[in-house]
Structure 1
Amino acid sequence: MSLLGKKFPAPIARPMWPFYISGLVILYGVNSAANAMATADEYKNDPRNPTVKNQAANSH
């Protein structure tokens, strides 16, 4: 007897492709929004901003 029980021949990836694509679109949108907010005037000089840290490291 197998450890996981009986195998069922149900397709998994084919009916789920719209959810995979929409997840990638959402992740791209969140990444774009986070990058836009990090470069906004309000947070441009924040010491916790990783883009400011990278620019300071590259300028030395």
Structure 2
Amino acid sequence: MAFLGLRKWPTPVFKPLWPFFAASGITYFLVLKMQDLGVKSEGFAKDPRNPYAAQIAKEAHH
């Protein structure tokens, strides 16, 4: 018997949403990697507006 629409057992939250959590993690990781590759690409690595230019130049000498 339901009292004001409340169930005796709680409604599962994580079980039906696990694909969305997994897809969010994968998407975040892939966007992070694409951004890193874009910042370190040849065209933008030497651009003075690049905030990572000093770091990229330092890594290039090693």
Count of residues paired in the alignment: 54
The 8 Å contact of residues 39 and 50 in structure 2, kept in 1 or not, is answered as yes
**Higher Cα Rg, which structure:** 2
Query: Following TM superposition, where does structure 1 have runs of at least 4 consecutive aligned residues deviating by more than 6 angstroms?
Result: none
CA contact (8 A) 1:47 1:53 kept: no
TM-score (norm 1): 0.68
Q: Distance in 1 between matches of 2:42 and 2:6?
A: 56
User: What is the RMSD of the two structures over their aligned residues, measured on CA atoms?
Assistant: 2.7
What TM-score comes out, normalization by structure 2 length? Answer: 0.66
